[in-house]
Structures are given as C-alpha cells and as structure tokens.
Amino acid sequence: MKLFDSHAHIGLIHEDPIEQLIVVQEAKRESVDGILSICNNLRDFFQVYENLKTASHVYYAIGVSPSEVTNPGKEWQNQVEEGARRERVVAIGETGLDYFRKFGDKDSQIELFIAQLEIADRLDLPVVIHNRDAGADVLDILRQKRPRRGAVLHCYSEDWSYAEQALELDLHISFAGNVTYRNARNLHETAKKMPIERMLIESESPFMVPASQRGKRNKPAYLKETALFLAELREMDPEAFCAQIHANSHAFFGIG
C-alpha cells in the first residue's frame, strides 16, 4: 500500500528541524511515501524547505494563504515565482478565500487569490485552494481564472451539489480526517458519488485528525485511517483504492 498526503503543515506540527524530519520519516514507515508540504506564508515555506531538503519524498507548495492577506510580505509575488522554481515544488498554494475568520477584507482576499492563480498559470502549476465560508466566490473566480493545470479544493467541507459544480470545472477534491466523523454525512455522500479519478486525500496535519485519534495533534502518519475509511465507504478493495489515489496525486502534481 502506498499513500500520498496532499496537504500537511509540517512547520505547524513542529518548528524544530529534527522533529520535522522525524515526522516525515515516521509517515514513510506508515506507507505515506509522498507528502506535499504546505505553508501559510513565505517565511515558513523557505524555512521548512531548508529543514527537509534531505527528505526526497517531501514535495512543496508555495503561496500565501488568506490568513496573510494584510501582510503577504515584501515583493511576495517575486518570492513565490522564485521559490516555485526550486526542486520538488509542484504547486501554488495554499491560496483561496476565508470569510469565516474575516482576514482583512473580501476585496483584498480576492485580489491575493487571483494574483496567485495567474502566477500558477504562468508557471504551469496546479493550485491548492482553501475555502471557508466562501464557496460561491471561489467557484465564480475559478470559472474565470482556473489555471491550465487545474486546482484542488483541499480539506473538502461542502456538499454534493457544490462538488458537482466543482467537477464541472475539472477540479479535484481532497478529503481530510473529518470525513471519518460519523456526522459528516455531506462528506460521505460526496466521497461515494464523485469520480474516483478526481479524488485526493490529505492529513491537513496538525488539524482534522481522524476519528480514532481525536484529542491528538494530527500528523501524516495517521493518513492511513482516512484512506481505509474512504475505501470502505466506496466499497472498494483498500489496495486498489489506495493505488488509484496515489496515481491521482502523482498525475495531478506532475510527479514522475
């Protein structure tokens, strides 16, 4: 069995470089042979990148999340484009919209989001999208600005009707540990109905821990529980399910 964690905030699990290496190596022992490292800001991206340079199974997304909209950093667009050309950087993100926390104002968030979609298109990279209480605006913007390499809605939390609209835009959908929660019926319906070719999975660590680990800080090593839950939900052989999701991940992020 091989798993690919399409969204892990390694720098938020541990700040210490040795502890970060332990986290990603532990995940490898639990069948997670690929991890996409996600950072909310550019300082953290460059720090984690340096810390994990020797971990060849770790890949990276670079971007500025909506949480940083009031202070994305000096010349942030140039930094994103420079960082995106580094080895094993395979996506732009996470970026998107978050109206729940009310970071900055909506117009500023939208401007930051669109700028990164345009960078992704210039660099021919896919985009990792954050959406919280902003679903309509996210889809409206993607209808106009979807990058050629596509986008994934990470840590999916909408319903099947929304997923149908996303799938019409050729988007991918990634499920995190919250899909394992008993009351997550909207997620269960979407995970059962959607084409498996568009599905990814993620830890979203250190958040969204799977049901059996609740009360702990999440980490990529727990991804297997999410994968096995989804395989059972779709009534698939676990090995076949994981092989398909692994292939989806490599194809979407352009990993050879």
Question: Class of the 3-253 domain?
Answer: alpha beta
Tokens of 247: 């292939």
Neighbour count for residue 250 (Cβ, 10 Å): 15
Share the mean pLDDT of the chain.
Answer: 97
Question: Between these two residues, 251 and 256, which has the higher pLDDT value?
Answer: 251
Mean pLDDT value across residues 205-225: 97
Residue 83: is its pLDDT beyond 90? Answer: yes
Residue 102: is its pLDDT beyond 90? Answer: no
Mean pLDDT value across residues 91-117: 96
pLDDT > 90 fraction of the chain, expressed in percent and rounded: 98
d(CA 43, CA 49): 10
Tokens of 249: 């991940």
Tokens 């050729």 belong to which residue?
170
Angle separating helix axes 160-168 and 135-145, nearest 10 degrees? 10
Residue 175: is its pLDDT beyond 90? Answer: yes
Work out the pLDDT band at 151, boundaries 50, 70, 90. Answer: very high
Mean pLDDT value across residues 189-202: 98
Angle separating helix axes 185-193 and 223-233, nearest 10 degrees? 70
Work out the pLDDT band at 212, boundaries 50, 70, 90. Answer: very high
